[in-house]
A and B are shown apart, each in its own frame.
Chain A
Amino acid sequence: MHPTDFTLAGALAALNEGAISAEELTRAHVAAVEALNPKLNAFITTTSEQALEAARASDARRKRGEAGPLEGIPLAIKDLFCTEAVRTTAGSKILGNFIPPYESTVTAQLKRDGAVFLGKANLDEFAMGSSNLTSAYGGVLNPWQRKNDPAARLVPGGSSGGSAAAVAARMALGATGTDTGGSIRQPAAFCGITGIKPTYGRCSRFGIVAFASSLDQAGPFARTVEDCAILLRSMAGHDPKDSTSANQPVPDFAAACARSVKGLRIGVPREYRLDGMPAEIEKLWRQGLDWLRDAGAEIVDISLPHTKYALPTYYIVAPAEASSNLARYDGVRFGLRVAEKDSDLRDLYERTRAEGFGAEVRRRIMIGTYVLSAGYYDAYYLKAQKIRALIAGDFDAAWAKVDAIVTPATPSAAFAEGENTDDPVKMYLNDVFTVTANLAGLPGLALPTGLDHQGLPLGLQVIGRAFDEETVFAVGAALERAADFKAVPAMRAGA
């Protein structure tokens, strides 16, 4: 077996048995990155030398009997996580030369547990996008191809497009992502892999470049549900450096994957049946529910009546928070500075920000600034916060009847570059099934359960109660066992 075909759990077992060394495992992934990245552009920065050095150190720790829970596992890190002494761009020109003097809490914990970092994965600029095309460092190619149109350049989804493409193409055993409105779950679905956005507060946001602070959550990508569970255990946990990080015990998520779903009540929200939803998405969803029923779960129709207001609510809350968070990019303390010889301070700010931010980021800053401006705050921002409360309340009511909710992950399979770009709102609709979990702060997992007529992966989503990722993993693992998804992308290591 080619080392890049291991699951993360399988690689850990092979490392434990001495069937492979961390250095061999990392070398195989470094070779995959070097072979595939020129085509896929999944990484903005590769750190092959540091990775091999870290792998050798990992082998030494294992030899001393000090192996951590992720000892020797090569990962891709979304370039939104600050990594000490390794350039962190957030996909933006404005941070093109930014070298953090500190490490994010999530990546520090992954390192603590023995993980090896292959490099920094491409993303939409400041995580704002659903295609990875807003990156200042170029788009990422989805490693999957349409059966009848293999030349079409498909997007990997976004914003964590590089992370998802890297894991799907077997350039990494797992990856970190962040999810503000669907940025882990939508690319996971588009790339035929698994990803989870945990409960808000489960992972520390310290050292993650901020987009919308009340929605942003870190989470893992991997090729199996169990692998995601293993990664999340290392990423999660209370951090005094993030006041919104929850002081909750971190359970053994991987153990929850083996739990039976017998007797669980699975909710099917009727508002997620969209007009004009493709028949194959409808079929995928029904099939998933049948599998769960066969496994002993009870399927319950539920209503989440404010669902249709979730996306417009998100497009007030997220830009408002983004406009505040991104005020820090001023050309003074770090990042790009653009000034004319006679620029005053204000002109320096305006030139730096106009040139440093791409079109989508500027658009969202403008929307956010407008909805927070005097005279409009109540009509837009306060109104959106109230509707957000109603959306969260819909879920609270649902949890009286069900233990988890199953929906499609995305309204379609991966689209091609150039599609959905004529109208910003059309692009925003990609997150129609995922954004509600961010607004309500709930965990959501996406996993591949089938293929569309073009041979592209389609995914389902499992949403759970706050801090009940264990049930989400149990339901996800049951769907995974039933779906037995074995399809692989055309472009992958070892192919």
Chain B
Amino acid sequence: MSLDTATVRRVAALARLRLEEQDIARVQGELNGILGWIEQLQAVNTEGVAPMAGGTPGGAAAMPMRDDVVTDGDQAEAVLANAPDREGEYFGVPKVVE
């Protein structure tokens, strides 16, 4: 499966990565190189195989449940400490609604 330039543009938009027009051909080549290499997986018979969705040995079932209680919070200053822009106790962003 090979990506055309329209797909490269669409994926960049989905990933919220600005892609300059002059870079599209290069990125397309790199992605197609990687995807072409990955293509060999289609040859593997996976019928009836349950997907492994996490890294935990024994599967997700081995993961513990925890109590659904608040354990942290009330730290607005720490949360906002690295914000590029803030107004009071809010993150600042460009105007979203006209």
Contact = CB atoms under 8 A, between A and B. Distances in A.
A312 B33 CA distance: 12
Nearest to A393: B49
Nearest to B50: A389
Contacts of B17: 350, 353-354, 357, 362, 365-366
A323 interface: yes
B15 interface: yes
Count chain B CB atoms within 10 A of each CB in A312, A390, A424 and give the residue with the most: A312
B51 A200 contact: no
Contacts of A343: 94
Nearest to A350: B18
B41 A383 contact: yes
B80 to A, nearest CB: 8
Interface stretch (A126-134, A253-261, A327-335): A327-335
A337 B85 contact: yes
A215 interface: yes
A327 to B, nearest CB: 8
A385 B94 contact: no
A488 interface: no
A414 B35 CA distance: 27
Contacts of A214: 53-55
B35 to A, nearest CB: 7
B11 interface: yes
Contacts of B12: 366
Contacts of A383: 41-42, 44, 46
Interface in B8-60: 8, 11-19, 27, 30-31, 33-35, 37-38, 40-42, 44, 46, 49-58
Contacts of A363: 27, 30-31, 34
A466 B53 CA distance: 17
Interface string A281-325: 000000000000000000000000010010011011000000100
B81 interface: yes
Nearest to A362: B17
Interface string B64-93: 101000000001001101111100000101
Contacts of A332: 83-85, 91, 93
A99 B93 contact: no
B82 A369 contact: no
A346 B8 CA distance: 18
Contact of B64 (A243, A330, A366, A382): A243
B61 interface: no
Nearest to B3: A370
Contacts of A200: 55-57
A424 B15 CA distance: 20
A363 to B, nearest CB: 6
A29 to B, nearest CB: 30
Contacts of A98: 82
Contacts of B63: 243-244
B33 A424 contact: yes
Nearest to A465: B57
Nearest to B38: A312
B96 interface: yes
Nearest to A99: B82
A137 interface: no
Nearest to A357: B17
A345 to B, nearest CB: 5
B83 A425 contact: no
Contact of A315 (B34, B42, B54, B62): B34
A366 B94 contact: no
A389 B58 CA distance: 11
Contacts of A385: 51-53
Interface in A356-409: 357, 362-363, 365-367, 369-370, 373, 379-380, 382-390, 392
Contacts of A101: 75, 78-79, 81-82
A331 B52 CA distance: 33
Interface of A: 97-99, 101-102, 199-201, 213-215, 217, 240, 243-244, 246-247, 306, 309, 312-313, 315-316, 323, 327, 330-337, 339, 343-351, 353-354, 357, 362-363, 365-367, 369-370, 373, 379-380, 382-390, 392, 423-425, 438, 441-442, 466-467
Given A354-B17, A379-B42, A441-B55, 9 more contacts: A200-B55, A313-B41, A344-B96, A365-B17, A366-B15, A373-B14, A386-B50, A425-B33, A438-B55
26 contacts: A98-B82, A199-B57, A200-B55, A200-B57, A201-B56, A214-B55, A215-B55, A312-B41, A332-B85, A334-B84, A339-B94, A344-B94, A345-B94, A348-B94, A350-B18, A365-B15, A365-B17, A370-B11, A370-B31, A387-B44, A389-B52, A390-B44, A390-B49, A392-B52, A441-B56, A467-B57
